[in-house]
Amino acid sequence: MIQSPATLLPALLQGFGIGAGLIIAIGAQNAFVLRQGLERRHVFATAAICTLCDMTLIALGVGGMGSLVTRLPALSAAASWGGAAFLLLYGARSFRAAWAPGALSTAGAADPPALGATLLAALGFSLLNPHVYLDTVVLIGSVGARFPPDQRIGFAAGAMLASTVWFFGLAYGAAQLAPLFRRPAAWRVLDVVIGVTMWAIAISLIRHALR
């Protein structure tokens, strides 16, 4: 039975609120999107990949995959080690960029990363961090499961809308900060913050895997 918009609206608004609350936080994925926006490199593709990954994971979570993931500790441990290695590598690159004069320019490097490399990086930040699965598949999935089946689509749509608004807003809104990042010191601060964020998340993943 097709529900009226008035019936789906409360579920959609709750999904949007929960999705926004989980996604609007300092993290490796958001830091990557912010930097791509500042450098104006493959902005649309970066935001689109992150959004599509979130949409897929939200759909899986609301569809019932969240409970399955929590019952597979081996999968969680493997994801933690893989994600930690990925974040440690990119964190090291960020620390290196903080001291590399060539990285301190809003115009970008002379040989910017190809689109394929950028897409792979966006996929890595979106799928190799177990915290993403915790937020989208487990947490959003568990809240969505409380709604009647005919309202879950509204809840999932709201959470997906939050991801879409955030990633595209962050990616394209970053250009407004470009004047600030003409100063080398601003790039150094950003790279250090990104590096610290990535390493902090990596350490938390390693601790989780060792439990």
Selected residue with higher pLDDT from 115 and 180: 115
Report residue 56's pLDDT band, with 50, 70 and 90 as the boundaries. Answer: very high
Q: Please report the pLDDT score of residue 25 as a whole number.
A: 67
Has this prediction a pTM greater than 0.75? Answer: no
Max mean pLDDT among 135-139, 149-153, 177-181, 206-210 falls in 149-153
**Mean pLDDT confidence for 20-25:** 75
The CA angle 17-22-25, to the nearest 5 degrees, is 120
Q: Tell whether the torsion through CA atoms of 19, 25, 28 and 33 is positive or negative.
A: positive
Q: What is the CA radius of gyration of the chain?
A: 18
Per-residue pLDDT tens digits for 145-196: 778 888 888 999 999 999 999 999 999 998 887 777 777 777 788 788 878 8
Q: Please report the pLDDT score of residue 66 as a whole number.
A: 60
Q: Determine the 3-state secondary structure of 24 from DSSP.
A: coil
Please provide the average confidence, as pLDDT, over all residues in the chain.
79
Domain ranges of the chain: 8-210
What span, in angstroms and rounded, lies between the C-alpha atoms of 167 and 52? 10
- pLDDT above 50 (res 8): yes
